[in-house]
């Protein structure tokens, strides 16, 4: 039924949110975003395992290149991986699980219903954590929180509509624009240093998954274009 999927997604997405906020508080925004690009890689692998989406050799190679990009960002062995890095890795895995459940739910309900159910479930799951550390907020802070909620809800609604319209491997590459915004905001708003390794690793991941998207588009056009003789009257 739908209810177990909603509850399961609520718990997994809540864990992802907790891991991500923990990482954001301890690592630069661009670095957290770049590590988060493992999410679409995991989604693509999960889509093949769970939904039977084809995983051709080219896609496997692109996934391998994307993982190499993640290694460039993390640079294990060349620097110490802190709790923020590990937390964001866990967040990427949890978000991937949430998106896979969202794909399943998009076949059972419309986008608005999926978003509403997820928002309610995550609110209930995270409520005890919020109560445990609650501090009074000012009207200005409440306004910023409302703005964040509005953007997050709108983004999630658009993502759910995309899930209903196309395979996961096609919709995921658009998320890579986040690296551009995260790098700019981190530098301009928080004075964070722009790490060239983060940019390089993110670019490698973007190139790899964008190649997957391009190949999917080519394959889709071939599948829907009729043979020349089929158009003859």
- The highest-confidence range among 6-10, 47-51, 196-200, by mean pLDDT, is 6-10
Read off the tokens for 226.
Answer: 């009729």
**Which band of pLDDT confidence, cut at 50, 70 and 90, is reported for residue 231?**
very low
The model's pLDDT over 5-38, given as tens digits with 9 standing for 90+, comes to 999 999 999 999 999 999 988 888 888 888 887 8
pLDDT, mean of residues 36-44: 80
**Region 121-141 average pLDDT:** 92
Residue 69: strand, helix, or coil: helix
Question: pTM for the full model?
Answer: 0.71
pLDDT at 135 over 70: yes
Helix 83-106 with 111-132: angle, nearest 10 deg: 150
pLDDT of res. 217: 66
**Residue 79: strand, helix, or coil:** strand
């Amino acid at each position: 039924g739908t209810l177990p999927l909603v509850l399961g997604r609520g718990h997994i997405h809540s864990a992802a949110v907790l891991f991500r906020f923990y990482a954001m508080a301890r690592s630069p925004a661009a670095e957290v975003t770049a590590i988060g690009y493992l999410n679409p890689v995991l989604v693509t692998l999960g889509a093949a395992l769970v939904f039977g989406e084809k995983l051709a050799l080219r896609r496997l190679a692109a996934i391998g290149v994307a993982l190499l990009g993640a290694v460039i960002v993390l640079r294990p062995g060349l620097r110490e991986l802190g709790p923020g890095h590990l937390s964001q890795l866990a967040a990427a895995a949890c978000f991937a699980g949430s998106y896979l459940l969202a794909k399943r739910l998009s076949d059972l309900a419309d986008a608005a219903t999926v978003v509403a159910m997820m928002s309610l479930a995550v609110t209930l799951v995270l409520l005890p954590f919020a109560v445990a550390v609650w501090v009074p907020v000012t009207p200005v802070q409440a306004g910023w929180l409302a703005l964040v909620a509005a953007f997050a809800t709108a983004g999630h609604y658009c993502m759910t509509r995309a899930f209903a319209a196309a395979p996961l491997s096609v919709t995921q590459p658009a998320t890579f624009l986040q690296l551009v915004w995260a790098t700019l905001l981190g530098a301009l708003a928080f004075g964070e240093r722009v790490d060239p390794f983060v940019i390089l690793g993110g670019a490698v991941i973007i190139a790899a998954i964008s190649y997957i998207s391009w190949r999917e588009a080519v394959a889709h056009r071939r599948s829907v274009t009729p043979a020349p003789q089929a158009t003859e009257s």
